Amino acid sequence: MGFDKEAFLTAKFEPRTDDVPVGNSALQGFFDKGEKPVWKVRGLDGKEYGRAEVAAEANKNIEALVDALFGKSDKKKAEAIKKMMIGGDTPQDIAKRIAMLKIGSVDPEVNDELALKVCTVAPIEFLIITNKIIKLTGAGHVPGKPPPSGKTKESKQP
């Protein structure tokens, strides 16, 4: 019995999701009263993971480009431009995780500003949340509901 290519190609898949508890952190006080402080995340698909990788690579390339343009002649200007474009000395792993947080967050939805703020004020939770996204991504999507057959059953009158 081999791999059932047709079944695989017609199966519907959904990203894995999970809730990450963020109680006892700087994030806790910003959830509605009575609501559990959890950050809902999902795994990424291959293209999304690639976009996160590209964000990390772009971070490195911008630094190299600015250094090449200014060299040692105007180090202050080069550092100011790097800080303006990529936030200064952002490590590649953090740049990648910022992209992953933006893509993999379900609730709340995350934009650049929120991702940077979480990374800055709640660094451990930032790592815990992005580690969960990485884990869900590595586990792959799960088969969801089978696609409809296209046939509808007629209801019979008694």
pLDDT digits (tens, 9 = 90+) for 16-39: 999 999 988 899 999 998 889 999
pTM of the model: 0.74
pLDDT digits (tens, 9 = 90+) for 115-148: 989 999 999 999 999 999 999 999 999 997 655 5
pLDDT digits (tens, 9 = 90+) for 56-77: 777 666 666 666 666 666 666 6
Distance CA 46, CA 34 (A): 36
Classify 44 in phi/psi space as left (phi over 0), alpha (psi -120 to 50) or beta. Answer: beta
pLDDT reported for residue 40: 98
List the chain domain ranges: 13-140
pLDDT-derived band at 79, boundaries 50, 70, 90? low
pLDDT reported for residue 23: 86
Q: Strand 142-143 vs strand 13-14: parallel, antiparallel, or unpaired?
A: antiparallel
**Which of 97, 136, 135 has its CA nearest to residue 15?**
136
**Which of 54, 125, 135 has its CA nearest to residue 96?**
54
* pLDDT, greater one: 13 or 91: 13
Candidates 3.30.2220, 1.10.10, 1.10.3470, 1.25.40; CATH matching 13-140: 3.30.2220
Which neighbouring-strand residues pair with 14? Answer: 142
Query: DSSP strand E in 12-156: where?
Result: 13-14, 17-21, 38-42, 105-107, 142-143
Distance CA 129, CA 116 (A): 14
